[in-house]
Structure 1
Amino acid sequence: METASLPLDTAPLGGRYTLLARIGEGGSAEVYRVHDTLLDRDVALKIAHGHMPQADRQRFLREIRTLARLSHPGVVAVYDIGEQNGRVYFTMPLLSGGPISLLGPLEDDPASLGHFLTAASFAARALHHVHAAGLVHRDLTPGNILLDAHGLPRIMDFGLVALSEYSRHLTRSGVTLGTPQYMAPEQARGVGVGPWSDLYALGAVLYRAACGSPPFVGDSDQSILFQHVYEEPTDPRELNPAIPDALATVLLGLLAKRREDRPATGEALAAQIALARRDIWARQASGQYRGGRTRSGEHPDGPLNPAALQLAWALPLSGEITWPSAVVGQGPLVAVGTRKGELHLVGASGETREQLPAGDEVTAPATFGAGSVLYGSWDGHLRRASLSAPSSTVLWSHKTRAEITGAPTVWGDRILVSSRDGHLHAVSLKSGELVWAYRASGPVAVSPLVWAGTAIVADEEGWVHAVDAVTGTLLWKVQLQTVHATPALAPLGRDADGREEAALLLATWPGEVHALHLYRQGRAQLNSQEPLLWTYDLEDEIWAAPAICGQNVVVAGWGGQVRALTVRGGDDVWMHRLDGRVTASPVVSGGHVYVASESGELLALAGDSGEVRWRQREAVGVQATPLAAGGALYVAFMDGTLRAYR
Structure 2
Amino acid sequence: MRAGDRFADRYRLDSPLGQGGMGEVWKAYDVELGRAVALKTMLTGGTTDGPVRRFRREAAIGARLQHPGITVVHDVGVHENRLFIVMELLVGEDLAHVLARSPDGLAVAEAVGLTWQAAEALEAAHAREVVHRDLKPANLFLQADGRLKICDFGIARTAEATAGLTVTGRPFGTPPYMAPEQWRGERAGTACDLYALGCVLYALVTGAPPFPAAEQAWALMRRHLDEMPPGLRSARADVPYELAELTASLLAKSPAARPPGRGSRGRAAEGDPARPVRRDARCHA
TM-score greater than 0.5 by the shorter chain: yes
1:24 aligns with 2:11: no
- For residue 120 of structure 1, what is the aligned residue in structure 2? 115
Match of 1:244 among 240, 244, 256: 240
In structure 1, C-alpha distance between the alignment counterparts of 2:229 and 2:32, rounded to whole Å: 50
* Residue 42 of structure 1: how far off its partner (Å): 2.2
* Residue 205 of structure 1: how far off its partner (Å): 1.4
Match of 1:38 among 20, 28, 32: 32
Match of 1:166 among 147, 153, 161: 161
Q: Is the 8 A contact 1:174 1:191 kept in 2?
A: no
In structure 1, C-alpha distance between the alignment counterparts of 2:278 and 2:186, rounded to whole Å: 45
Q: Is the 8 A contact 1:171 1:191 kept in 2?
A: no
Q: Deviations over 1:3-44 (max 9, x none)?
A: xxx2224x2222232222222222222111122333333221
Cα RMSD of the aligned pairs, angstroms, is 2.8
Q: Give the AA of the match of 1:23.
A: L
**Closer/same/farther in 2, CA of residues 171 and 49 from structure 1, 3 Å limit:** closer
Stretches (4+) displaced over 4 A: 168-175, 491-496
Structure 2 residues without counterparts, runs of 5 or longer: none
- For residue 106 of structure 2, what is the aligned residue in structure 1? 106
In structure 2, C-alpha distance between the alignment counterparts of 1:200 and 1:232, rounded to whole Å: 12
In structure 1, C-alpha distance between the alignment counterparts of 2:238 and 2:121, rounded to whole Å: 27
In structure 2, C-alpha distance between the alignment counterparts of 1:165 and 1:242, rounded to whole Å: 41
In structure 2, C-alpha distance between the alignment counterparts of 1:125 and 1:37, rounded to whole Å: 34
- Count of aligned pairs between the two proteins: 272
Q: Deviations over 1:394-417 (max 9, x none)?
A: xxxxxxxxxxxxxxxxxxxxxxxx
Larger Rg: 1
Match of 2:253 among 235, 254, 257: 257
**Equivalent residues in 2 for 1:354-369 (5 A)?**
none
**Equivalent residues in 2 for 1:521-540 (5 A)?**
none
In structure 2, C-alpha distance between the alignment counterparts of 1:14 and 1:97, rounded to whole Å: 28
Q: Is the 8 A contact 2:57 2:154 kept in 1?
A: yes
Question: TM-score, normalized by length of structure 2?
Answer: 0.85
> When you count helix as a share of all residues, which structure comes out higher?
2
- For residue 229 of structure 2, what is the aligned residue in structure 1? 233
Match of 2:68 among 65, 73, 77: 73
In structure 2, C-alpha distance between the alignment counterparts of 1:492 and 1:58, rounded to whole Å: 36
In structure 1, C-alpha distance between the alignment counterparts of 2:279 and 2:190, rounded to whole Å: 34
In structure 2, C-alpha distance between the alignment counterparts of 1:173 and 1:232, rounded to whole Å: 29
What is the DSSP-based 3-state SS (H/G/I as helix, E as strand, rest coil) of the residue aligned with 2:29? Answer: strand
Q: Give the AA of the match of 2:106.
A: L
- For residue 132 of structure 1, what is the aligned residue in structure 2? 127
In structure 2, C-alpha distance between the alignment counterparts of 1:223 and 1:31, rounded to whole Å: 33
- For residue 184 of structure 2, what is the aligned residue in structure 1? 189
* Residue 201 of structure 1: how far off its partner (Å): 0.6
* Residue 172 of structure 1: how far off its partner (Å): 11
In structure 2, C-alpha distance between the alignment counterparts of 1:492 and 1:162, rounded to whole Å: 32
> When you count strand as a share of all residues, which structure comes out higher?
1
**Closer/same/farther in 2, CA of residues 76 and 55 from structure 1, 3 Å limit:** same
- For residue 277 of structure 1, what is the aligned residue in structure 2? 270
Q: Is the 8 A contact 2:163 2:186 kept in 1?
A: no
In structure 1, C-alpha distance between the alignment counterparts of 2:33 and 2:112, rounded to whole Å: 34
Q: Deviations over 1:569-595 (max 9, x none)?
A: xxxxxxxxxxxxxxxxxxxxxxxxxxx
In structure 2, C-alpha distance between the alignment counterparts of 1:247 and 1:150, rounded to whole Å: 26
In structure 1, C-alpha distance between the alignment counterparts of 2:56 and 2:160, rounded to whole Å: 17
What is the DSSP-based 3-state SS (H/G/I as helix, E as strand, rest coil) of the residue aligned with 1:97? Answer: strand
What is the DSSP-based 3-state SS (H/G/I as helix, E as strand, rest coil) of the residue aligned with 1:186? Answer: helix
* Residue 149 of structure 1: how far off its partner (Å): 2.3
Structure 1 residues without counterparts, runs of 5 or longer: 1-5, 281-490, 497-646
In structure 2, C-alpha distance between the alignment counterparts of 1:169 and 1:271, rounded to whole Å: 28
Q: Deviations over 1:284-335 (max 9, x none)?
A: xxxxxxxxxxxxxxxxxxxxxxxxxxxxxxxxxxxxxxxxxxxxxxxxxxxx
Q: Is the 8 A contact 1:123 1:153 kept in 2?
A: yes
1:179 aligns with 2:179: no
Q: Give the AA of the match of 2:190.
A: P
1:59 aligns with 2:54: yes
1:223 aligns with 2:216: no
Percent same amino acid among aligned pairs? 36
**Closer/same/farther in 2, CA of residues 127 and 492 from structure 1, 3 Å limit:** closer
